[in-house]
Amino acid sequence: MSNKSKIWLSSPHMGGTEMKYIQEAYDTNWVAPLGPNVNGFEKDLESYNGIGHASALSAGTAAIHLALILLGVGAGDEVIAQSFTFSATVNPITYLGATPVLVDSEEQTWNMCPLALKEAIEDRMAKGNKPKAIIPVHLYGMPSNMKAINAIADEYEIPVVEDAAEALGSSLDDKKMGTWGKFGILSFNGNKIITTSGGGALLSEDEELIAKSRFLATQARDNAPHYQHTHVGYNYRMSNITAGIGRGQMEVLDDHVEKRREVNAWYKNILKDIPGISFQTEPTNDYYSNYWLTSILVDPKQTGGITREDLRLALEKENIESRPLWKPMHMQPVFADCPYYGGNVAEEMFENGLCLPSGSNLTSEDLNRIKKVLTEVFHSASVTQE
Ligand SMILES: *Cc1c(COP(=O)(O)O)cnc(C)c1O
């Protein structure tokens, strides 16, 4: 193992003003859940995304859970989800006693295949169980084909919950991801494009439902001097301290997106002449990805036998983190019994795919270290000198 400093896949990147907001909370003794930073962060999210309402929560997972509750998902129901994702997309379905119905990806965006979605809906309806919601995911920041997905969702009148945990700052037709469905969810976990150390948000145009999400997220306390409850509640609200980090991070979000897109362009340039390497790429100019993680497919038939695992291990030896793509949920032991629709698009991507270090805080020294490994693995002649 190398004694060089670790290069992370994606690490927290503070902008500078976060401490100001935290200090303010401290000085005014708003060291509590809720407070001015939570309200301010929600306003920032609303105006940045161009959406009516946002509630700041303890995690993206909590946001998905609440969205499904607000859509009335319960025991025995079915919810359609993209199979190619992180488990947090699907876990909340099972918290409610509902069954995930998993759908394959398309090759263009790597996200939910509209054809497989339609097939899933029709087959579940034929079996007498109309799905209660559809959860597409914007993997690694790449927008899903929301125009096709929404058209199908509208046709069958099934609400869409967009998992935009990885896609804050991405857009399709200049409309931000997270604003295309009935609900959108965001995550501010430590490795996301901005972070609050841990946190999430629920977005919607529906003021009443967002108000209800805040109510459910604070233990569902009815309006009474004593503690009175007519609903089961949750402790899912964001704290006023972490929301302070979020307010500072919002000031540098667009810089982070720009930097991640530069890193993506840098990889595309240095690897452009290597046969057998392809990138997750915006299919048309309507798509704008934050390129949270730059992701490649390595086809050993064209690279002279070099696999993504060879590359991953070579990077690891130099203390550089990279990671295989998400293992699809239908291949996970815990979800193996769930219905699945589609082919082997996600399976093959998982087999051959790798996420490369993509942080907005990568230095030119970091990039040089990464390039050196890529050069060695794929032979010096083919890696383009920039
Ligand atoms: C990070 C992530 C989540 C969960 O967010 P948390 O804030 O970690 O709970 C959900 N879905 C996807 C696709 C994610 O990447």
* pLDDT of 1 higher than 70: no
Alpha carbon of 62 to ligand 1 centroid (Å): 9
> 383 falls in which pLDDT band (50, 70, 90)?
low
Alpha carbon of 61 to ligand 1 centroid (Å): 6
CB 329 within 8 A of CB 100: yes
To the nearest whole number, what is the mean pLDDT of the chain?
95
pLDDT at 381: 41
In angstroms, the CA 61 to CA 185 distance is: 9
Give me the mean pLDDT over the 120-128 stretch.
98
Alpha carbon of 196 to ligand 1 centroid (Å): 13
Contact 162 CB / ligand 1 (< 6 Å): no
CB 115: neighbour CB atoms within 10 A?
16
What's the number of CA atoms in the CB half-sphere (13 Å) around residue 18? 18
pLDDT digits (tens, 9 = 90+) for 331-350: 999 999 999 999 999 999 99
Give me the mean pLDDT over the 224-229 stretch.
91
Alpha carbon of 87 to ligand 1 centroid (Å): 8
Contact 109 CB / ligand 1 (< 6 Å): no
> 2 falls in which pLDDT band (50, 70, 90)?
low
CB 334: neighbour CB atoms within 10 A?
11
CB 129 within 8 A of CB 368: no
Contact 88 CB / ligand 1 (< 6 Å): yes
* pLDDT of 138 higher than 80: yes
Please report, rounded to a whole number, the percentage of residues in the chain having pLDDT higher than 70. 97
* pLDDT of 78 higher than 90: yes
Contact 178 CB / ligand 1 (< 6 Å): no
Contact 137 CB / ligand 1 (< 6 Å): yes
Alpha carbon of 63 to ligand 1 centroid (Å): 10
Residue nearest to atom 5 of ligand 1 (CA): 60
In angstroms, the CA 206 to CA 209 distance is: 6
Structure tokens at 163: 């998992």
Contact 35 CB / ligand 1 (< 6 Å): no
Contact 186 CB / ligand 1 (< 6 Å): no
* pLDDT of 385 higher than 90: no
Give me the mean pLDDT over the 313-328 stretch.
97
Domains of the chain: 18-250 (3.40.640.10), 253-384 (3.90.1150.10)
Q: Write down the number of H helices and E strands in the chain.
A: 12, 15
DSSP 84-107: SS-GGGTHHHHHTT-EEEEEPBPT
Contact 187 CB / ligand 1 (< 6 Å): yes
pLDDT digits (tens, 9 = 90+) for 141-155: 999 999 999 999 999
For the chain, the first-to-last Cα distance in angstroms comes to 28
In angstroms, the CA 114 to CA 160 distance is: 13
Alpha carbon of 59 to ligand 1 centroid (Å): 8
CB 142 within 8 A of CB 355: no
* pLDDT of 380 higher than 50: no
In angstroms, the CA 119 to CA 103 distance is: 9
* pLDDT of 305 higher than 60: yes
* pLDDT of 273 higher than 80: yes
Model pTM score = 0.96
Residue nearest to atom 14 of ligand 1 (CA): 165
Give me the mean pLDDT over the 327-332 stretch.
98
Choice from 10, 55, 57, 61 to test ligand 1 binding pocket (greatest atom count within 8 A of CB): 61
DSSP 138-172: -GGGPPP-HHHHHHHHHHHT--BEEE-TT-TT-EE
Alpha carbon of 385 to ligand 1 centroid (Å): 36
